[in-house]
Amino acid sequence: MTDTVDTATDQAALAINGLEMSYVVRGTPREVLRGVTFSVQPGEAYGLVGESGCGKSTTAYAALRYLPGNGLITEGSIVADGLTLTDMSSAELREFRARRASMVYQDPVQAMNPVTKVGDQVAEAFTILGQSKDQALASALEALERVKIAAPESVMDRYPYQLSGGMLQRVVIAMALACDPTLLVLDEPTTGLDATVEAEVLDLVRDLRRELNSAVLLIAHNLGVIRTMCDRVGVMYAGRIVEEGTVTDVFDNPSHPYTKGLLNSIPRHGIRKGDRELFAIPGNLPQIGDALPTCVYVERCPVATEICSTEVPPVVERTVGGHWTRCHHPDRIDQVPDPEEVSIDHTVGTEEIIGVRGVSKTFRQRGNDVPALVSIEMGFAEGETLGLVGESGSGKSTLAKTMTGVHPPDEGGAITLRGREMKGKATERVEESIRAIQMVFQNPDSALNRAWTVRRILMRAVTKLTGLKGAEAEERAIEIATSMRLSERHLDMRPRQLSGGLKQRVAIARAFAGDPEVVVCDEPTSALDVSVQAAILNLLAQLQREERTSYLFISHDIGVVRYLADRIAVMYVGRIMELGTTEQLFDGPVHPYTEALLSAVPSVDGTASNRIPLEGDIPSPANPPPGCVFHTRCQYVIEGTCDVVVPEEVDVGGGHRILCHLPVDQLPVPVELTAKT
């Protein structure tokens, strides 16, 4: 797939040349693309990667000339398949979209018309090609079969809300392929999907590509997705491509300081919090419309010199394979500082602070019992991070809410604080217990009172959790803010005036206001860009070292969990299938579900991984499969045992618990995602 390609415009499936675009906001044009140039050859997969606001999605839509109402192309050309899109009439453009190019979108649930049957929507992509209604419906069925959707006939008659996100994305792909497009644009096609579903969708796209020979333009913020899917990649920053080359060249041998910073900000090669910090690129992402006349990255670049702020950097070839960087100092790339080694040893205490003892949680729904949590057993030592992973619907958030007292557990289970049982409901807990368990949410926007200043938010948390009032509370609030590296200036701002990363710092500060024992972090960095995520993860690790706080860290990002967690619990249908130290989990042996989960992660390090497919969807907790809940999707299933008998937990050594019928010596060992360096 990584054949060298020439970049002739006339035969390219897509050639974008010097594209400059602005969004007109209140009469003022704000520059979003500042001369984007790249081409995708027939049959090639080209990836665009970058953080939010860099213009990658704008570029993707521009490739089909779909501009928002206030979008304005000021310069440059878009040529696809020899046709110049920038010169087309609207009728020609419709024809182009109907027959030659297609798109797959980020959020498949929103991308489908909620009031029209799936079959009719897919058929529409065929009627536009001139087929009759019946022909189109037959073609639609074929298209759904082609994307390997389960029970395509019944899917035809369903409405979008009746399908899962993964199934809908298959439907969207089926529509996109209706015309056998020469150009297929995928805009964050797997963002928001579970890792296992993501892996399936990516596999599907890969298989179909071989069949179709379409050119693919893939937009993603996830470097692993780009690495596993694309031949070449362009790294975008502030509306410009700053580095381009084959995925191997760019990811293994980055030549632009931004690319290097980006790669250093994600946990790679299995590094852990005890090894080194993640690299948080200093400064903030530029806003759309900011004036960046010379090098777009100069403000944040650690190796910038005077010339960088006076002259536009040239394109510098790195290899004959078309690897180039837009930088004045490609020779100084090695001077980009590596992330700091962690000097203090990270040790976990021995005393159990919080215990979760046989906790079950059953919801009543339409007269039926829905067991959302079943006999959860775990404990947190002082200064320990327990990572919690599993697909959506596995019960991760329910466990978090039960621990914090949002839902009281069923009779018989208990949450203990230093051995003493706490009340189930937060409202009945004594102050000490409430203070002890605090929470940080995924979306700081909805977790913070938007009408209040940061100072007031923090002072209230201090007063509520410690009883301090007035000047004392304010003093404490400032102290916490400072330890979160928030400056005095931020205290009088309101949440909407802060960036996503700063908001999450405020949310963390709030949780730490009462000196908690355990902080439950529910996907705290999923909404953040990777360079911001790095800073938040560093902060959490540092707070833990200094305050000896324990974390329950929920994340779908296995790489992040591996970086931060001391132990990891794997959940499935409300049960803990496996619990062990991070080393035990990544070295194996592991539960078959864990094996599949780990193998689904697309890695930026590019190690070929044998993916263990997980067929079908996660079962509903309202109707769990008999025997082992995982047997319906397990490739090691023992007929007559797994589907009948509920497995007992087995200690495979060193406190590593696995809930499986397989004899220990037959348990799988996970494929090493990444070689440790």
Partner 1 sequence: MARFILRRLLLSLITLGIILVIVTLIPNIAPGDPARKIAGGTASPERLMNVRESLGLDDSVLTQLKDLGGSVITLDFGDSFTKPGESAMGLVLAALWKSTKLVVFSLALVVPLSVAGGMLAAFKKDTWIDRTIVNTGLALSSIPEFVAGVILLTVLAVPYGFFKVGANAPDGASQLTVAQHLLLPALVILTVYFGYIARVTRAGTIAALDSDYARTAFMKGISTRDVFLKHVFRNALQPTVAVIGTQLGYLFGGMVGLEIVFNYPGLGKLIFNAADSADYPLLRTGVLTVAVIYMFATLAADLIIAWMNPRARVLTEGGGS
CB of 451 to partner 1, least distance (A): 24
Nearest-10 Cα torsion for 62, 66, 71, 73: 40
Pick between residue 93 and residue 671 the one whose CB is nearest to partner 1: 93
When computed from its CA atoms, the radius of gyration of the chain, rounded to whole angstroms, is: 26
CB of 193 to partner 1, least distance (A): 16
Would you count residue 441 as binding partner 1 (CB under 8 A)?
no
Return the closest-CA partner of residue 391 out of 631, 571, 170, 224. Answer: 571
Counting Cα atoms < 13 Å in the Cβ hemisphere of 674 gives 21
* Residue 430, token pair as written in the block: 């004594």
Question: What x-and-dash track marks residues 313-352 binding partner 1 by CB under 8 A?
Answer: ----------------------------------------
Would you count residue 433 as binding partner 1 (CB under 8 A)?
no
Instruction: Please give the single-letter amino acid code of residue 563.
Output: Y
Site residue total, partner 1 (CB under 8 A): 28
Pick between residue 107 and residue 445 the one whose CB is nearest to partner 1: 107
Would you count residue 212 as binding partner 1 (CB under 8 A)?
no
CB of 123 to partner 1, least distance (A): 11
Pick between residue 1 and residue 24 the one whose CB is nearest to partner 1: 24
Stretch that binds partner 1, among 124-132, 274-282, 397-405, 608-616 (CB under 8 A): 124-132
Would you count residue 586 as binding partner 1 (CB under 8 A)?
no
Pick between residue 168 and residue 601 the one whose CB is nearest to partner 1: 168
* Residue 479, token pair as written in the block: 């102290």
Would you count residue 102 as binding partner 1 (CB under 8 A)?
yes
Pick between residue 117 and residue 269 the one whose CB is nearest to partner 1: 117
Would you count residue 180 as binding partner 1 (CB under 8 A)?
no
In angstroms, how far apart are the furthest CA atoms of the chain? 76
Among 27, 89, 114, 487, binds partner 1 (CB under 8 A): 114
Among 116, 284, 310, 335, binds partner 1 (CB under 8 A): 116
CB of 263 to partner 1, least distance (A): 31
CB of 136 to partner 1, least distance (A): 12
C-alpha to C-alpha distance for 515 and 479, rounded to whole angstroms: 12
Cβ-based burial of 77 (10 A; exposed 0-12, middle 13-18, buried ≥19):
middle
CB of 118 to partner 1, least distance (A): 11
Pick between residue 144 and residue 389 the one whose CB is nearest to partner 1: 144
DSSP string across 190-238 = TTTS-HHHHHHHHHHHHHHHHHH--EEEEEES-HHHHHHH-SEEEEEET
Compute the Cα dihedral for 349, 352, 354, 359 and give only its sign: positive
**Is residue 592 within 8 Å of 391, Cβ to Cβ?**
no
SS3 content of the chain, % helix, strand, coil (to 5): 35, 20, 45
* Residue 277, token pair as written in the block: 């910090």
Pick between residue 158 and residue 332 the one whose CB is nearest to partner 1: 158
Q: What angle do CA 225, 230, 231 make, to 5 degrees?
A: 150
CB of 125 to partner 1, least distance (A): 5
CB of 124 to partner 1, least distance (A): 6
DSSP 648: P
Stretch that binds partner 1, among 2-10, 96-104, 328-336, 405-413 (CB under 8 A): 96-104
CB of 114 to partner 1, least distance (A): 6
C-alpha to C-alpha distance for 626 and 509, rounded to whole angstroms: 44
Pick between residue 112 and residue 642 the one whose CB is nearest to partner 1: 112
Question: What x-and-dash track marks residues 52-91 binding partner 1 by CB under 8 A?
Answer: ------------x-x--x----------------------
- Pairing status of strand 315-317 against strand 368-381: unpaired
Would you count residue 159 as binding partner 1 (CB under 8 A)?
yes
C-alpha to C-alpha distance for 658 and 429, rounded to whole angstroms: 33
- Pairing status of strand 324-326 against strand 240-246: antiparallel
Stretch that binds partner 1, among 123-131, 233-241, 448-456, 516-524 (CB under 8 A): 123-131
Pick between residue 104 and residue 638 the one whose CB is nearest to partner 1: 104
Among 105, 279, 572, 586, binds partner 1 (CB under 8 A): 105
Would you count residue 173 as binding partner 1 (CB under 8 A)?
no
Return the closest-CA partner of residue 205 out of 188, 221, 60. Answer: 188
Among 20, 95, 142, 479, binds partner 1 (CB under 8 A): 95
CB of 159 to partner 1, least distance (A): 4
Would you count residue 161 as binding partner 1 (CB under 8 A)?
yes
Task: Give the other-Cβ count within 10 Å of 273's Cβ.
Answer: 24
Among 97, 227, 328, 361, binds partner 1 (CB under 8 A): 97
Q: Across the strands, what pairs with 352?
A: 381
- Pairing status of strand 368-381 against strand 352-365: antiparallel
Among 14, 175, 359, 465, binds partner 1 (CB under 8 A): 175
CB of 142 to partner 1, least distance (A): 17
Among 24, 94, 358, 492, binds partner 1 (CB under 8 A): 94
Pick between residue 115 and residue 291 the one whose CB is nearest to partner 1: 115
CB of 56 to partner 1, least distance (A): 17
Instruction: Please give the single-letter amino acid code of residue 73.
Output: I
Question: Scanning residues 353 to 382, which ones bind partner 1 (CB under 8 A)?
Answer: 366
- Pairing status of strand 550-554 against strand 385-389: parallel
Measure Cα distances from 662 to 439, 590, 628, 652, 657 in Å: 37, 10, 11, 11, 13
**Is residue 671 within 8 Å of 609, Cβ to Cβ?**
yes
Stretch that binds partner 1, among 34-42, 122-130, 139-147, 539-547 (CB under 8 A): 122-130
Measure Cα distances from 620 to 123, 170, 573, 616 in Å: 31, 21, 7, 12
**Is residue 501 within 8 Å of 536, Cβ to Cβ?**
yes
Straight-line distance from the first to the last Cα atom of the chain, in angstroms, rounded to the nearest whole number: 27
Would you tell me which residues interact with partner 1 (CB under 8 A)?
64, 66, 69, 94-99, 102-103, 105, 107, 110-116, 124-125, 128, 159, 161, 172, 175, 366
